[in-house]
Chain A
Amino acid sequence: MNCEMIHDRFDSKQAGTLDPAEREAFELHLAGCADCWADLEASRFLAARTADLRREITPPTDLWTGIAPRLQPRTRRLTLPVGWLAAAAVLLVAGTSALTVLLVRRPAAEAPTGFAATEARYQEATLELATVYRQARDSLAPATRVVLERNLAVIERALGEARDALRADPANRAIEEMVVAAYQRKIAFLERAAALDRKT
């Protein structure tokens, strides 16, 4: 063994994991190499001192005050069990498909134009999903049902206000988009609410 090979085996030597042949070659080299002997002694000496080093040191000042202002808000991520996600995915696909069918059901030539027609399709889609949800909610825990109904009421109130605003200003495209967004929120909510039943 040369000096480099000896160095590579210091930790194994200290851990006692050298095989007999390696140990013999190691000790033979060490007996004739003052440098390696000194290095091994240094390793042993330092190992004991290193084990006593503090692994935790309290900073002299509270560093949090310099951290908190630098934290950018992060979108809260809803983590759900796989089963819930699968059920939600199935309903989402079904709901989207239903919506697509509703939207393309009539030939283009016969389809009514304007926002009223669009809203009618969304209304039809939400009605279908609401029917699915109503069938599911009876099997939900009472507390869960209360929370869902309260949230649904909020969504419907927002939708109602958007529709009232559009009635007052029918040519306003921005309000039309708000109404559509409100329908989409209601659809998404109903899909997720109905999916809860699959799990409980």
Chain B
Amino acid sequence: MTSPAFPIPFARTATQPGSEPDRGFDTHLALAVQGDERGFERIYRAHVGRIYALALRLADNAGHAEELTQDVFVRTWERLASFRGESSFSTWLHRLAVNVILSDRRSAWRRTRRISADGEVAELEPDSRAPTPGLRLDLDQCIAGLPPGARTVFVLHDVEGYEHAEIAAIAGIAVGTSKAQLFRARRLLREALDR
């Protein structure tokens, strides 16, 4: 793969060993930043698995996870010119994905609350997807059965490695709330996995 005809100052510093999928990634990223959709498609193909995994664990169902994944990449395209290489592209994209997904959840919550205020919906809680009693489930199935708040904090903290302070900032909650949700999630998961 040849280098792009135009120099990309951030490209080398943006790539950390093992963090990007292939040696040509810088070229695709450079092309995408310049507005090239083919370059952006390569970026999408390199990262869609990780973003979809995140969306699948945070969303209410697989269909919604697919929609959120698409939203994340459309937003990435819109914001790509603002990527300055201060962190790796993977890190930047992941943070953007978390923001898009949680923002969607907040919007859904506001819509639900508005409807509730009109008296049309009595419960705010989403559908319960608790594991079937007697059936030994894998961890992903149990995570899907967690309440949304506990699920978000567990996925971001224990799966994705975010700190409580970061989660609090992204999700708009107190650090103490993040910690409490994490322990709630861990207890629920342990109980579910022990069945």
Contacts and interface: CB of A to CB of B under 8 A. Distances in A.
Interface stretch (B42-50, B97-105, B123-131): B42-50
A16 interface: no
Interface of B: 6-9, 33-37, 40-41, 44-45, 48-50, 52-53, 56, 62, 65-66, 69-70, 73-74, 77-78, 80-81, 139-140, 158-159, 179, 183, 186-187, 189-190, 193
Given A43-B186, A53-B140, A67-B74, A77 B81 contact: yes
A60 B49 CA distance: 11
B187 A42 contact: yes
Given A45-B190, A54-B53, A59 B66 contact: yes
Contacts of B80: 74
A66 B70 CA distance: 7
B66 A71 contact: no
A64 B44 CA distance: 8
A43 B62 CA distance: 27
A79 B8 contact: yes
Interface residues of A, number: 39
A63 interface: yes
A193 to B, nearest CB: 17
Given A46-B190, A49-B193, A73 B35 contact: yes
- Per CB-CB distance, the 4 closest pairs between chain A and chain B, nearest first, are A56-B49, A42-B190, A74-B35, A57-B53
Interface in A69-100: 70-81
Identify whether the interface residues of B are mostly helix, strand, loop, or mixed.
helix
27 contacts: A7-B179, A7-B183, A8-B179, A42-B190, A45-B193, A50-B158, A52-B139, A55-B50, A57-B56, A58-B48, A58-B49, A58-B52, A59-B66, A63-B66, A64-B44, A66-B66, A67-B73, A67-B74, A74-B77, A74-B81, A75-B35, A76-B35, A77-B33, A77-B35, A77-B81, A79-B6, A79-B7
Contacts of B34: 76-77, 79
Nearest to B9: A79
B186 A46 contact: yes
Contacts of A39: 183, 186-187
A71 B74 contact: yes
A42 B191 CA distance: 9
B48 A63 contact: yes
A76 B34 CA distance: 5
B136 to A, nearest CB: 12
Contacts of B33: 77, 79
A47 interface: yes
B6 A78 contact: yes
